[in-house]
A and B are shown apart, each in its own frame.
Chain A
Amino acid sequence: MTITLYDFELSGNCYKLRLLMNILNVPYAIHPVDFFPGREHKADWFLRLNPFGQLPVLKDDDLVLSDSGAILAYLAKKYDTSGQWFPDDPAVTAEILRWHAVADDISATSSAARLALGYSYPFDIEKSQKGAHRIFRILDEHLWFGEKAGRDWLCAPAHPTTADIACFPYVMLSEEGGISRQDYPALRRWTDRVRRIPGFMVMSGIFPAGPAKT
């Protein structure tokens, strides 16, 4: 197998795949795409790979995939021998897909605010920020009650799933969109836990957590 990731370093959606592949120890090559300032994701050659003109795209031999959530599911199903990152259990599958959808909502708000403030995208900053806070409130509540019930991750299993990977980057990058996480202490603790998953790697803009107490 040869995996190629069409990648932009500063993209949280691309990072989701780098992160999971690193955790699963899956080797891959990077094909850098000049998303900014070159707008190469709108170039003809890229649109042939993904007509939606969005990063990331992943090629596994001849198979071409796009959408970070879909690719996370693919990578977990194909390369996670433990079966824990995307379990087969129907209820858990539904749960994970539910959080993949939340991850897209986080992108549409937190990532949009970041692109508007940092990269001059014409998005409505205030609306994006408000939207992100609305999601973060629910996330914080979900994670707070999770901690009370002994659940460390977004979904029910004792092991993290692709749902955690999908939601993590644009939660961590929210401050670049002017969205403080000060009011979400349980969400902040969860980001510590994600950063302590064995095989965790950073992206530009995200710092590692120190080691846990032994």
Chain B
Amino acid sequence: MPLSLSDPTWYPIASSEDLPFRHVYHGQLLGRELAVWRADDGNVNAWENRCLHRGVRLSIGINEGQELKCQYHGWRYANRSAGCTYIPAHPADAPARRIENRKYPVREAFGLVWSAANDDQRFAPFPGAEGHDWFALRPVPVNATPEDVLAGLSRLAPDDQSVEFIPGRAVTLGSARFFVQPVDAARSVIRGILPEKPADEIATLRYYNEQLTKLRDSLERAAAKKPAPEPLQPVFEKVSVELSTMPDIAVPRGNTFPVVVKRKWQSADGVIGFELADRDGKHLPTFQPGAHIDVHLPNGLVRQYSLTNGPGDLMRYTIGVKAESASKGGSKVLVETVREGDVLAISEPRNNFPLRRDATRTVLIAAGIGITPLLSMARFLDKSSLNYELHYFARASQTMAFSSELDVLHGRVDRHIGFTREAIKAKVAEVLGPYQFANHVYICGPGAMLEMVQATAAALGWPDDAVHFEYFQNDKVIDASSAFDVELARSALTLHVPAGRTILQTMREAGLTVPSSCEQGACGTCLTGVIEGEVDHQDVYLNKTEKASNTCMMTCVSRAKSGRLVLDI
């Protein structure tokens, strides 16, 4: 049976012990090269061995623990999702587009790591697998066709023993099972396992290694005498049109998906922690440090919460919610009525607060619940051994959330408790110091705190682009004085928007159904594509690059600078 690129069978591709922490294993299955690596959380990733950017093998990259770093341009790809979280050439931008490496199904079981060319088959243990603590022999690569290797293995059986073939190019010899990994048309690896660790471990391993080495030599002698089949020709999948055209932006639509509340707990006085996970136990979408999600609340409201997670940590999103929030019915609903086991709809993570990883010094300043995005940032900087310090201001120590998470960071974490306004200001000035090249500060906290840090930083000579913060509320005064026409391209309608009315209101009055939520330019629900015309952006949802692209807008607050706008509605 010739090899097929689309063979859905699960084959072993490595031994468990081939994957120590912080190592990238160079594997291959059915002609496709794999970069296989174990993250610090124990998860095994099997990815196409090729960076999406310029096609360099990821097996020469660096396993940073929870992210894989390409050796060519330092692109980081997250554990589990293989999503790109950082592009160092553009450190101030969140990779807005969903750049995700091709990954293969992977399972660790019976001392081996298994993979398959596609998801067509569920992983099923081989017959008799259960109930043993399988022990892997030394794998032996053979330059011969998988078929010949399998035939060779069956000849190892003593004459008085029957040979039992098991599915997936495998054979049982005594208590041992031998699997043939089809590396390529003319290359194989013999992977043997024993049901238990033998009493004399080294001697047993030596014995099998000798047997298999002899078999290898005879198989290779035979293979050298006949023409080798052509190697398989795997096809590299094309990237999406969106990724190929080097667009300035691609703003994700407000797609939502359900998550289950796995855990709800009191993280500190007045702060409730929530862990949200996929209902089927799959990993969640890639996020970058500083990212937030929209949480759709049972009462129909939408609220934004920052993720606190570290790199490659995609099995659950952890958010912190302030218990007595001023926003009526917002966080209150979450805190009071949502329970463990409940299902909520959330958006994919969005990042308006991207973390640069090209600073010589990063200062993180958090006040109160503002700790949440900065905890995520600190965790990323920590894993990359970058220089950072986190200053956490709170009224009282019992109100400090995520304490145990902060305790395990290696960087400098200073807790400042019960400071007066003046003392906070003095401390911030001391912490920042005069501006130095390649220093960056990130602030998250109440509006007054943001303004104070901005003013202090400015007074110390920090340029605007070194001072980072994000808005979850639009505190700007909306200028609704303009009047203009909107042409709705897909609805074949032209409407006049008078001064004092929003585009959203005008569209609704014309009988269109348009989704919206916060109606203050903060949540992103009414995001609309712009085909023509110049937008007068007044929202706080889109970031600078997205606004500059003039390809989308928030119809609840933003207007037109030109006399006419053509919208993709």
Residues of chain A having any CB pair with chain B under 8 Å: 141, 144-145, 147-149, 181-183, 185, 188-189, 192, 207, 209-214
Which residues of chain A come closer than 8 Å to B341, judged between CB atoms? Answer: none
Q: Which of B21, B138, B385: most chain A CB closer than 10 A? A: B138
Decide if B28 is an interface residue (CB 8 Å cutoff): yes
Binds A, one of B63-71, B94-102, B296-304: B63-71
Evaluate contact between B26 and A148: CB separation under 8 angstroms. no
Q: List the 8 closest A-B pairs by CB distance, nearest first.
A: A210-B62, A183-B141, A213-B21, A182-B26, A185-B18, A213-B22, A144-B138, A212-B22
Is the CB of B198 closer than 8 A to any CB of chain A?
A: no
| A210 B202 Cβ-Cβ under 8 A | no
Q: Label chain A's interface by main secondary structure.
A: loop
Contacts A145-B205, A182-B26, A188-B26 given; indicate if A209 touches B21 (C-beta within 8 A).
Answer: no
Proximity bits, B298-339, A CB within 8 Å = 1, else 0 = 000000000000000000000000000000000000000000
Given contacts A148-B202, A185-B18, A189-B23, A210 and B63 within 8 Å (CB-CB):
yes
B14 within 8 A of A: yes
Cα distance, A189 to B64, chains bound together (Å)? 16
| A183 to B27 Cα, complex, angstroms | 8
For chain B, residues 1 to 60, give those with C-beta under 8 angstroms from any C-beta of chain A.
Answer: 14, 17-18, 20-23, 25-28, 33, 40, 60
Complex contacts, A212 vs chain B, CB 8 Å = 21-22
Closest-CB distance, A204 to chain B (whole angstroms): 14
Interface residues on B, range: 20 to 34
- The answer to whether B108 has its CB under 8 Å from any CB of chain A is no
User: Of the candidates B17, B22, B33, B139, which one forms a contact with A210 in the assembled complex, judged by CB atoms under 8 Å apart?
Assistant: B22
Cβ distance A151 to chain B, nearest Cβ, rounded Å: 11
Asked whether B201 is an interface residue with its Cβ less than 8 Å from the other chain, the reply is: yes
Query: Are A210 and B209 in contact, with the CB atoms below 8 A?
Result: no
**Which residues in A have their C-beta under 8 angstroms from that of B20?**
189
By a CB distance below 8 angstroms, the chain A residues around B427 are none
Chain B, residues 200-238, CB within 8 Å of chain A (1/0): the string is 011001100100000000000000000000000000000
Residues in chain A near residue B71, CB distance under 8 A: 207
A145-B138, A192-B23 known; 4 other A-B pairs, CB under 8 Å?
Answer: A141-B138, A182-B27, A185-B26, A210-B69
Shortest A7–chain B CB gap in Å is 25
Contacts of B17 in A (CB 8 A): 147
Say whether A213 contacts B40, CB under 8 Å: yes
B62 adjacent to A209 (CB under 8 Å): yes
Which of B25, B205, B385 interacts with A185 by CB under 8 Å? B25
Q: Which residues of A contact B65 (CB under 8 A)?
A: 213
- CB atoms of A210 and B138 under 8 A apart: no
Min Cβ gap B310→A in Å is 14
- In angstroms, Cα B141 to Cα A182, docked, is 10
Known A-B contacts A183-B141, A210-B63; the reply to A145 vs B202 at CB < 8 A is yes
List residues of chain B with CB within 8 A of the CB of A145: 138, 202, 205-206, 209
Please judge, given known A-B contacts A185-B25, A188-B26, whether A207 and B385 are in contact too, CB under 8 Å.
no
Query: What residue in chain B is nearest A144 (Cβ atoms)?
Result: B138
Smallest CB separation, B318 vs chain A (Å): 22
